[in-house]
Amino acid sequence: MTVITKRIHVDSRGKSDIIDITEEVASFVSESKVKNGIVTIFVSGSTASVSTIEYEPGLLKDIPRALDKIAPYGPDYAHHDTWHDDNGASHVRATIMGPGITVPFENKKLTLGTWQQICVLDFDTRARKREVVLQIIGE
């Protein structure tokens, strides 16, 4: 079994910015020495997430709108009292979505569906440079 780790950096605008990183992940897998296995995609930090979505203009509007109903940006978070900041909603959204995913691959190709892309979702209230850890396990 082989384990290979790589870190990439993603610039975001914050406020539910969604960034497609499918090509970076696919390149990492195809250029590795591993033919079959899994790749874990994990974003460091507690106000961002990684998920798969259909990366298209409608969903880029629908996803933030749906999350606004669950955890709207605003002043009503106890987290703000604790740290005197304004990103309580960001933490709640990231907790709901989760920090990472694992995608299997065969013959150096991700087993994603046709309309399924790997994305970083940044919920913080400001622009950020996010570190994303990619880790392959396989043979």
- Expressed in angstroms, the distance from the first to the final Cα of the chain is 5
pTM: 0.96
42 bridge partner residues: 100, 133
**Residue 133, in any domain of the structure:** yes
**Residue 3, in any domain of the structure:** no
30, 103, 135, 136 from 106: Cα distances, Å:
10, 10, 15, 12
**Could you give the number of structural domains in the chain?**
1
Which domain, by its residues, includes 58?
Answer: 11-138
CATH number at residue 85: 2.60.120.460
pLDDT of residue 75: 79
pLDDT of residue 104: 99
C-alpha span between 106 and 62 (Å, rounded): 32
The tens place of each residue's pLDDT in the chain, 139 residues long, gives 999 999 999 999 999 999 999 999 999 999 999 999 999 999 999 999 999 999 999 999 999 999 999 999 997 899 999 989 999 999 999 999 999 999 999 999 999 999 999 999 999 999 999 999 999 999 9
C-alpha span between 131 and 21 (Å, rounded): 12
Where do we find the tokens 């990619």? 134
